[in-house]
Structure 1
Amino acid sequence: MFQRILRIHGLVIVRRGSSLAAQKTKLYDFHVAHQGKIVDFGGFQLPVTYATENITESHLHTRKSCSVFDVSHMLQTVVTGLNRHEFMESICTTDIQGMAINSSALSLFTDRHTGGILDDLIVTKCEDYLYIVSNASMREQDKRIMTRAQEYFKSYGKDVVLEFFTPDQQSLLAVQGPLSQKVMESIFPSVDFKNLYFMQTTTTTMDGHQVRITRCGYTGEDGFEISLPSESATDLAEKLLADPAVKLAGLGARDTLRLEAGLCLYGNDLNNTISPVSAGLMWTVGRRRKDLQDYPGARLIHDELQSGPKSKRVGLICNAEKAPPMRQGTTILDETEKEVGRVTSGCPSPSLGKNIAMAYVDTALAKRGTALLAKIRNALVPVSVARMPFVPAKYYVKKE
């Protein structure tokens, strides 16, 4: 099938066939009314920018104020049943049994045969169910992973029930930026936001419907993700925009913000050939799960952890002025001009005024400050390994 790839500040947007084949979220008409530039992303029609602001302006507004992102294309799943914790642990890396009620954790689906990462996801543990958010681009794969595991559990008489939501049923809005709590307090006055910390969740109501609010996001800023019935999504978006501090933001700013925050994009920085060890994501594996080595591919992953990975995910910062930005696929060389890695995501950083990138390089060269070269348009540009996140995280965490 025909594919066209657009590169916008390092964001890769894949068009599959005609635009009519892509699904629309319930907020599609809302985005068009607000002059959103619509593109096909992960099989959905979503705004990449809005006419009133370019990517850089939208990015900087999020860092200083508050922006709203439509992320309804993400797969939202609810898992119920007596054996839900055991079920989920059979396919992901998190110690779900050890999680506190109303807490969330980044997790991974891993390949039992290779140890590679099949997807990254957020698992939220509620009183009587699990709430899962995973990537839209891996929607069908993730549904298969969960459905096959459910069939296996049921064959042994165990109780697991899956409910997959479509964007027509359930929407997801991300409210991000330093003013996000103030904005949210004005709309949801019954929620105690001061005692809702990073990666914690709660529920409230709006227009008679249950709304789930999780303090998390993809920008490195304080913020929230709000899951609600799609019939109420436009009303919530309008309420948010009624605050003069709030602006809409699209996929372009979402990509540059997450890269500055050192956060991975599946399909760019993670795929089924990359292990949690190489990606620097072993912290997503619960201590009990490490001891038991009972998640898919665990023995392969722990063998690699013991022997050391051949390559590591690192941040890169450009040391030359006015150089072209590093893009996905850019070759990285050592000082002898030997190829030692490849860029997986790259963009000009609006916050730093420099070009930044995420790459996998030979482990021996992954130390912070190591001088390397990026081959850009047949020119060798000096870069160096940098600390990630590039911009300090501002998550709302409980002070000890």
Structure 2
Amino acid sequence: MSDLSRTPLYDLHVELGAKMVPFAGYEMPVQYKLGVMKEHLHTRDKAGLFDVSHMGQVIVTGTDYAAAAAALETLIPVNIAGLGENRQRYGLFTTPEGGISDDLMLTNRGDHVFLVVNAACKEADIAHLKTLEPAVTVTPITDRALIALQGPASEEVLAALDPKAADMAFMDVATLTLDGAECWVSRSGYTGEDGYEISVPEAAAEALARKLLAHDAVEPIGLGARDSLRLEAGLCLYGHDIDTETTPAEAALSWAIQTVRRIGGAREGGFPGDETILAQLETGAGKTRVGLRPEGRAPMREGVPLFAAEEGGDPIGQITSGGFGPSVEGPVAMGYLPTELTAEGTTVFGELRGRRVPVTVTALPFVPARFKRKPAKVQQA
């Protein structure tokens, strides 16, 4: 693995007994001494600390926030201009054909937009963003680590370092002082649990990680449990559940494209692939990503073909993510099926070790999300 990059927390991972594997060009911990199953359950029960420093952090600056947002909306089909200050939103880069070239998180930081993009796509994403220059300035952040604290004890743990962490709700973003370091913190994550993602100066990353791990509720968590957690949460993994061959409607991500960017909206279209994407938002797509529960205990993993009948016929779809769900105590998967076969309770068949096993179409997520949301506004009489 000599040609792979290392995050600022590499030495800490090794010290903690992590099993290191190649991932997106980096040496990353796939599991620690607890093992994937216990790491997964610990995160659901208490709090887990994840190193996600391999992901890309980017600042986009214009003459003001509005200018940066307007430029980004030509590449990303979401309402960036209407995003409140210090609020975060999920977004997508789309292709001229209507596919998805990456998914990302974006934040209104008052005078700029802060983006977090996937590790495997970050070089291509940055090059894509630079096509907006000179209207905006695109600045990759290379001197900060990124860690995620996830699980029901996360608020207690982080608020012990900066009480303002407790005031944040899901998708809020704030600058907090954690163990003496200025950190950019969002109340978000990719596990379905309450938690935070923390951008910390590289020089302070190891000390902050050690401080968090010193709390009795916190354990280090590797890529293995990160994957099973996000799968139970029904969240897409780029390059597996979504890619340039899947559209937002097919991927069941229509919710990510706000009304203002749809047909008849104030800023309708104006992004790559808008003709295809907007048409599917209006009339539907031919295939759709769904949750799947295989019968029995054996997991069905990515690539397993799906059939309409127990015998005969060609595949009608395939699984894109699958494994054993520790929290649901059984196999879970996601995949694509013809839209007419995606009603909850529909039975299809997955081919496993030469035989076809029943698979039930199931609502997502498999485990309900436990985000700390803002209180609903009280309606006035």
Per the TM superposition, whether the score is higher than 0.5 is: yes
Q: Which residue of 1 aligns with 2:23?
A: 41
Q: Which residue of 1 aligns with 2:124?
A: 141
Query: Which moves more between the two structures, 203-212 or 271-280?
Result: 203-212
The match for 2:72 among 85, 88, 102 is 88
Whether 2:204 is the aligned partner of 1:232: answer: yes
Q: Which residue of 2 aligns with 1:300?
A: 276
- Structure 2 counterpart of 1:223, one-letter code: G
Check conservation: 1:289, 1:295, Cα contact below 8 A: no
In the TM superposition, residue 207 of structure 1 has moved relative to its aligned partner by 5.7
- Structure 2 counterpart of 1:31, one-letter code: H
Q: Which residue of 2 aligns with 1:393?
A: 369
Secondary structure of 2:2's partner?
helix
Secondary structure of 1:187's partner?
coil
TM-superposition CA deviations, 1:147-199 (whole Å, max 9, x none): 1122xxx2xxx3x1111023xx110010000000000011223x1x3431101
The match for 2:351 among 370, 375, 381 is 375
Sequence identity, in percent? 40
Whether 2:257 is the aligned partner of 1:285: answer: yes
- Structure 1 counterpart of 2:23, one-letter code: F
Check conservation: 1:187, 1:239, Cα contact below 8 A: no
Check conservation: 1:333, 1:373, Cα contact below 8 A: yes
TM, length-normalised to structure 2? 0.94
Check conservation: 1:106, 1:120, Cα contact below 8 A: yes
Secondary structure of 1:309's partner?
coil
- Structure 2 counterpart of 1:44, one-letter code: Y
> How many angstroms apart in 2 are the aligned matches of 1:357 and 1:206?
37
> How many angstroms apart in 2 are the aligned matches of 1:54 and 1:43?
23
Q: Which residue of 1 aligns with 2:34?
A: 53
Secondary structure of 1:329's partner?
coil
Whether 2:80 is the aligned partner of 1:99: answer: no
> How many angstroms apart in 2 are the aligned matches of 1:32 and 1:148?
39
Check conservation: 1:277, 1:304, Cα contact below 8 A: yes
Q: Which residue of 1 aligns with 2:188?
A: 216
What is the total number of aligned residue pairs between the two structures? 367
1:20-35 superposed matches below 5 A? 20-35=2-17
Q: Which residue of 1 aligns with 2:60?
A: 79
- Structure 1 counterpart of 2:174, one-letter code: T
The structure 1 segments of at least 4 consecutive aligned residues displaced by more than 6 Å after TM superposition are none
> How many angstroms apart in 1 are the aligned matches of 2:105 and 2:200?
17
Check conservation: 2:102, 2:121, Cα contact below 8 A: yes
1:306-345 superposed matches below 5 A? 306-320=282-296, 322=297, 324-335=298-309, 337=311, 338=313, 339-345=315-321
> What root-mean-square deviation, in Å, do the aligned CA atoms of Structure 1 and Structure 2 show?
1.2
Secondary structure of 2:327's partner?
coil
Q: Which residue of 2 aligns with 1:186?
A: 160
In the TM superposition, residue 208 of structure 1 has moved relative to its aligned partner by 5.2
Q: Which structure 1 residue ranges, 5 or more long, are not aligned?
A: 1-18
TM, length-normalised to structure 1? 0.90
Q: Which residue of 1 aligns with 2:47?
A: 66
Whether 2:229 is the aligned partner of 1:253: answer: no
> How many angstroms apart in 2 are the aligned matches of 1:319 and 1:181?
37
Check conservation: 1:122, 1:132, Cα contact below 8 A: yes
- Structure 2 counterpart of 1:364, one-letter code: E
